[in-house]
Structure 1
Amino acid sequence: MLNAMNPTDIHSLLQRYQRGECTPEEIRVVDQWYDLLNHEQVPPELTPAEQAEVRAAMWQRIEGQTLQAEDLSPPVRPLRPWYGRVGRWAAAAALAAAVGVGAQQLLTRPAAPAPVATAQASRWQLYTNATTQPHTIRLADGTTVRVAPGGQLKYPGRFAAQHRTVYLQGEAFFEVAHDKAHPFRVYTRQVVTTVLGTSFRVQAPLSEAPVVVQVRTGRVRVQPLPGGSAAPVPAGLVLLPNQQAVYSPQRHALARELVAEPQQVAAQSFVFDDRPVTEVLAALEKAYGVTIEYDAAALAGCTVTLHLPDASLYDKLDVLCKTLGASYQQADARILFRSPGCAAR
């Protein structure tokens, strides 16, 4: 640690840190502050005002980089050789929201929000849901964000010319206004989710717990952000309705799964009177937007009589499996249906 830094020294250090003009020793000091804040600890040599200045510097760097990008890809080029990639700044930005006191110039929290808050000014807003109920934020483009208790959302009063970017910590449900010319991005500490117009849920805890992105309608792309480790960054995934991406920060792994309770995405009758099993499976695929793989030859000639109007997808599959003596399992958001065939019944 550098010796006997007074407030003027700390302010000067943070200014040079933003500009990339620090010495290796100074970089190490600020990195240590970052690591302490990342674990929700307060560096003892920093006053509350200096902590706010650290958070402000983090926000300025992440915003300055992400808002200048013009394509759909998450920004991955190094910000500075001395600090690492955007993923680390994204983590720092989410952390900045988590620590508490906001910097005066950057982090403005709406006072006594109404049931639906609307972004009016061009400056950035930081909303923290300190209540026990979800709270809806309406953004300038018409997008609504339902922030869960404990969640934090950072958003601009007016979006950039090329795309729309917000930052999230915690959980929120997004209903994005469709705008093909202006992609919508949600940054968390670990991943960036890119959409054009859809509805989806993001669960982004500050801890090392997995990040989960669940799609209700439309499609989204989920891309892990590069971090400070040397581990390779997993390839991104495109998600469809009833699918979710689960990113494990500890294993640096991104997986695609079906959500726990798939919802119907298309109207479909589930009354089958002596109908081919393959017809039942096709109806389930259409109703829930899922892919079901099976051995068509083994099911040739198999018919069933089933009435399943109110059951969930998995309940329907359980009844079908019990009728046929079959089984199923999930793999990469697909359902693998296995049946011994009618001859074994």
Structure 2
Amino acid sequence: MASNSSEFRQLLQRYQQGECTPQEVRHIEAWYRQLGAEQPLDLTSNEKEALTAAVWQRIADRTARDNEHRLKSTGWASWPASVRAAAVAAGVLGASVFGIQLANSPLVKEMARQRLATAPTPATWLLYTAPAMAPERRVALPDGSFVTLAPGATLRYQRVKATGRRIAYLRGEAFFDVFHDAQHPFSVLTDQVVSTVLGTSFRVRAVAGQPDVQVQVRTGAVRVSPRAGAAGAGPVAAIIVRPNQQAVYSPVRRQLWRELVAEPVQLAPQSFVFNDRPVADVLQVLSAAYGVEISYDAEALRNCTLNLRLGSEPLFDKLNLVCEALGARYETADGRIIFHGQPCAAE
């Protein structure tokens, strides 16, 4: 079976798509039966969450189709939507021996309650919510991705069967850790923008009552564009957002722009102890550590050196210390840093 987390998530993805071998299906369902039981289950908490999501989606897809086909002869199409949803969800819970065997697991009971309460079309959409007055909620999607919902956020998720494209609709704020799948892009839609990735981690903030939408990238790259037909949407070109950058869209101004996040996070280990080091080297170290482009006039800084010991300060604090030592300054523009330094005399 899977030897690491990536292989495990790929296995669950194939299972959800019905592409596993019979032996792999038996292993996955055996793992699932152990959730909430006393016997040890050699999976991480993240893998358990992904396993739960994948198996439930597979059960929902299979049993909901069967129930809809069976109920059509009883005037199913004329039933109110809420009644149809409850009927299909009930079928999901009890339509197979496998589902019945799992009913005693506390985790499964919670999943069942969630489906009955919130999923209007179990065969098509998964719905996740985070109560406004509760802590943030972390959920696993059937494709192996993870989403952390901020309080008050709502997420709907669907994998389009015809294309395999992964689509999520978000209201509120959420952090996405998307499972890499080059053949099946993952798109997050808000009322105003569309963010499309292959596999990366990023935050989307589309909070009711706040006019602007923000998309902050932690790793990878995200393509952001206004949604066609959205309020205020016009001929605005899409932009690519990279680590420690964010896209901001203002429907009022009909503008989409790129900028650095307020507090860039360090992405790669680096030593920040500089003993008589060229300033150009210092700036390159900072750029590599934070994944942020820093432009400067190499000729002007050719003779400039620094003796400086930096620690765990935020990036902008580090730059302030460099500027103080050199009498320099910097500015930010379009998601990058522009460093302005005075020429130094040759020794």
> Per the shorter chain, which TM-score range?
0.5 to 0.7
Paired residue for 2:270, among 258, 268, 271? 268
Counterpart position of 1:308: 310
SS at match of 1:182: coil
Counterpart position of 1:278: 280
| Greater share of residues in helix | 2
SS at match of 1:168: strand
How big is the shift at 1:328?
0.5
2:217, 2:242 within 8 Å by CA — same for their partners in 1? Answer: yes
How big is the shift at 1:136?
1.3
Work out the number of aligned pairs and report it: 240
Counterpart position of 1:9: none
Paired residue for 1:143, among 142, 145, 148? 145
**Deviation readout 1:223-264 (Å, 9 max, x if unpaired):** 111336686231011111111000011111001011111111
**Deviation readout 1:64-96 (Å, 9 max, x if unpaired):** xxxxxxxxxxxxxxxxxxxxxxxxxxxxxxxxx
How big is the shift at 1:343?
4.2
**For 1:164 and 1:106, how far apart are their aligned partners in 2?**
22
**For 1:105 and 1:250, how far apart are their aligned partners in 2?**
40
Counterpart position of 1:249: 251
1:106, 1:124 within 8 Å by CA — same for their partners in 2? Answer: no
**Deviation readout 1:179-214 (Å, 9 max, x if unpaired):** 111000111000010000010000012335210000
- Structure 1 segments (4+ residues) deviating >4 Å: 102-114, 117-121, 228-231
Counterpart position of 1:199: 201
Distance 1:260 1:217, change over 3 A: same
**For 1:105 and 1:155, how far apart are their aligned partners in 2?**
20
**For 1:336 and 1:311, how far apart are their aligned partners in 2?**
19
In the alignment, residue 270 of structure 2 is paired with which amino acid? Q
**For 1:291 and 1:325, how far apart are their aligned partners in 2?**
21
Counterpart position of 2:339: 337
SS at match of 1:320: helix
Unaligned runs of 5+ in 2: 1-80, 90-106
Distance 1:210 1:172, change over 3 A: same
SS at match of 1:266: coil
Q: Identity percentage over the alignment?
A: 51
In the alignment, residue 277 of structure 2 is paired with which amino acid? R
SS at match of 2:280: helix
User: TM (normalized to structure 1)?
Assistant: 0.64
How big is the shift at 1:128?
2.3
User: TM (normalized to structure 2)?
Assistant: 0.63
In the alignment, residue 147 of structure 1 is paired with which amino acid? L
Query: Is 1:126 aligned to 2:127, yes or no?
Result: yes
SS at match of 1:283: helix
In the alignment, residue 240 of structure 1 is paired with which amino acid? R
In the alignment, residue 265 of structure 1 is paired with which amino acid? L
Unaligned runs of 5+ in 1: 1-101
How big is the shift at 1:103?
5.5
SS at match of 1:194: strand
* Aligned positions of 1:83-102 closer than 5 A: none
**For 1:238 and 1:106, how far apart are their aligned partners in 2?**
39
How big is the shift at 1:123?
3.1
SS at match of 2:300: helix
* Aligned positions of 1:1-345 closer than 5 A: 113=110, 122-130=123-131, 131-156=133-158, 158-162=159-163, 163-227=165-229, 232-343=234-345
2:127, 2:155 within 8 Å by CA — same for their partners in 1? Answer: yes
How big is the shift at 1:121?
5.1
Counterpart position of 1:75: none
In the alignment, residue 178 of structure 1 is paired with which amino acid? H
In the alignment, residue 266 of structure 1 is paired with which amino acid? A
**Deviation readout 1:291-321 (Å, 9 max, x if unpaired):** 1111112111111101112111111100000
Query: RMSD over aligned Cα, in angstroms?
Result: 2.9
